[in-house]
Amino acid sequence: MTTRGHGAERFLWLLRHAKTDPEPPRGGTDHDRLLVPRGRRDATALGLRLRAGDLGFGAGATPELVLTSTAARTTETGALVVAALGTPLERRRRLYYGSPTDLLAEVRSVDDEVRAVMVVGHNPAIRSLALELLAPDDRAGHEALAAFPTCAVALLRVGVRRWRDLSYGEATLEGFARPPYDA
């Protein structure tokens, strides 16, 4: 990982939306798919665990801002997580089935006052971004992210002073968790 100056450390949380209904509501599209009860439970429990700091990693790196795709399932996942955190949530159209490059562009646009940001997105882009950001020699990190199920969350530590300087291959996986979070 490249550290660009003293104190240059930021944290990027990558969260795949929680479990959804495989079909859109009547008259709706994929963009309108909603969480199922299990998905709502998982997202709520994740928010509570983040607030309590008991995921086993990420102490001091609680998200200060949550960026979510405009899809109903990601917006609902993000809203349930931030309900426990009291963190601002911003919906970004580009995160809806955007490529890893699109997701990275959104992260790079975050204000530098924000030290820890969470992106709530979709597979395969959210998993691909996580893998592409990891340092090539982070073998354990690459293995941990082999599967990225619904409501799974990865925390990456990046050594940049400004979000716009974030590049592929420079992050370290601090932790990875998957539901159930209330077990």
CB count within 10 Å of CB 74 equals 29
Q: Judge whether residue 60 has pLDDT over 80.
A: no
CB contact at 8 A, 160 and 170: yes
Q: Judge whether residue 108 has pLDDT over 90.
A: yes
What's residue 7's pLDDT? 54
Residues 113, 102: Cα–Cα separation, whole Å: 21
Q: How confident is the model at residue 1 (pLDDT cuts 50, 70, 90)?
A: very low
Q: How confident is the model at residue 3 (pLDDT cuts 50, 70, 90)?
A: very low
Place of tokens 């931030």: 82
Burial (CB < 10 A; 0-12, 13-18, 19+), residue 38, is middle
**Tens digits of residue pLDDT in 111-139:** 999 999 999 999 999 999 999 999 999 99
Residues 94, 30: Cα–Cα separation, whole Å: 15
Topology of domain 10-57+70-114+123-177 in CATH is Rossmann fold (3.40.50)
Question: What is the gyration radius of the CA atoms in the chain, in angstroms?
Answer: 15
Percent of all residues in the chain with a pLDDT value above 90, rounded to a whole number? 86
In terms of DSSP H, where are the helices of the chain? 37-52, 72-85, 100-108, 125-133, 139-144
What's residue 4's pLDDT? 38
Among residues 142, 102, 138, 105, the alpha carbon closest in space to that of 122 is found at 102
**Tens digits of residue pLDDT in 147-175:** 999 999 999 999 999 999 999 999 999 99
Mean pLDDT of the chain, nearest integer:
92
CB contact at 8 A, 90 and 110: no
**Tens digits of residue pLDDT in 10-29:** 999 999 999 999 999 999 99
What's residue 154's pLDDT? 97
Provide the residue ranges of all domains of the chain, joining segments of one domain with +: 10-57+70-114+123-177
What's residue 57's pLDDT? 87
CB contact at 8 A, 82 and 47: yes
